[in-house]
């Protein structure tokens, strides 16, 4: 029988569940409002759908209250800030949104792509530099030490370039690291085992994965299709 997960892992799993409940409730509430408004303007079909969505909203709200209490209990038992667990839970949701686009920007057999498709990491978040535009730090969360994410500092700029078709202009994203990727030993050890590589290669893969995720995030925020841009790395 497999050993039970450590308390901190169970706490983060609870946070991921709570984050998912909250996101589902917020999206459903917005959809329900739109459908109910549609029901006042058109047929009874949409009024009926609006009532169904309202019932689902109530169910999700009740379920969210339960999982939020569970998350709070984990934080108290571990003696940590509840916000730290929420940050980890939200990071898992962000990785789910960006994973596919990030993998598409990598060679499919590259260690970074294997890392993103695997289970060693579970989340990503982005912290912008408040003093320098287009600069920030990408945080990668791994199960080996869920509340101690690795960090990858970066800077980005959009470079306007002349297009080849009828003088059209395109924007290229220039993204590069401004420092070394930093990760705790538990995470590095887990990555070397998951990828079957040496320590330096594991850190390289982690940095490449962070870069791919950052690129996917910046392109999504700018509304640029992922296949319309080539990233420059240094």
Residues 119 and 199 in one domain: yes
Q: How confident is the model at residue 42 (pLDDT cuts 50, 70, 90)?
A: confident
Nearest CA to 68 among 25, 113, 7?
Answer: 25
Of 46, 80, 114, the residue that ends a domain is: 80
pLDDT for the residue numbered 188: 97
Residues 40 and 115 in one domain: no
Nearest CA to 101 among 232, 233, 6, 231?
Answer: 231
Q: What percent of the chain has pLDDT over 90?
A: 71
Give yes or no for residue 225 having a pLDDT over 70. no
Residues 221 and 131 in one domain: yes
Of 54, 80, 106, the residue that ends a domain is: 80
Q: DSSP letter string over 156-198?
A: EEEEEEE-SSTT-EEEEEEEEESS--B--HHHHHHHHHHHT--
Residues 126 and 212 in one domain: yes
Residues 129 and 224 in one domain: yes
Tokens of 11: 């706490």
Residue 233, domain member (yes or no)? no
Residues 104 and 142 in one domain: yes
User: Quick one: DSSP state of residue 2?
Assistant: P
Summarised one tens digit per residue, pLDDT across range 90-112 is 999 999 999 999 999 999 999 99
Residues 135 and 20 in one domain: no
Q: What percent of the chain has pLDDT over 70?
A: 88
- The three-state secondary structure class of 77 is helix
Residues 120 and 220 in one domain: yes
Mean pLDDT computed over 67-72 = 96
pLDDT for the residue numbered 162: 58
Residues 74 and 117 in one domain: no
Number of domains composing the chain: 2
Residues 148 and 117 in one domain: yes
Which residues face 198 on adjacent strands?
none
Residue 197, domain member (yes or no)? yes
Helix axes 7-41, 44-78, angle to 10 degrees: 160
Residue 105, domain member (yes or no)? yes
Residues 52 and 112 in one domain: no
Q: How confident is the model at residue 36 (pLDDT cuts 50, 70, 90)?
A: confident
Q: How confident is the model at residue 226 (pLDDT cuts 50, 70, 90)?
A: low
Residues 130 and 40 in one domain: no
Output the average pLDDT for the chain: 89
Of 49, 80, 111, the residue that ends a domain is: 80
Domain carrying residue 170: 98-228
């Amino acid at each position: 029988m497999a050993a039970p997960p450590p308390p901190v892992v169970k706490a983060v799993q609870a946070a991921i569940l709570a984050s998912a409940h909250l996101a589902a409730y917020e999206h459903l509430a917005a959809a329900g409002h739109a459908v109910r408004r549609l029901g006042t303007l058109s047929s009874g079909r949409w009024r009926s759908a609006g009532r169904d969505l309202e019932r689902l909203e109530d169910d999700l709200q009740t379920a969210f209250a339960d999982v939020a209490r569970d998350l709070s209990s984990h934080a108290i038992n571990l003696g940590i800030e509840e916000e730290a667990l929420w940050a980890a839970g939200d990071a898992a949701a962000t990785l789910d949104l960006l994973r596919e686009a990030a993998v598409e920007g990598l060679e499919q057999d590259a260690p970074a792509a294997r890392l993103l498709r695997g289970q060693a990491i579970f989340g990503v978040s982005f912290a912008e530099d408040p003093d320098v535009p287009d600069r920030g730090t990408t945080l990668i969360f791994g199960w080996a030490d869920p509340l101690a994410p690795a960090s990858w500092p970066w800077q980005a700029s959009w470079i306007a370039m002349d297009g080849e078709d009828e003088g059209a202009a395109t924007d290229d994203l220039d993204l590069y690291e401004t420092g070394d990727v930093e990760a705790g030993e538990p995470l590095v050890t887990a990555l070397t085992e998951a990828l079957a590589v040496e320590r330096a290669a594991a850190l390289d893969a982690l940095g490449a994965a962070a870069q791919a995720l950052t690129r996917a995030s910046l392109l999504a925020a700018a509304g640029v299709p992922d296949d319309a841009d080539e990233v420059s790395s240094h």
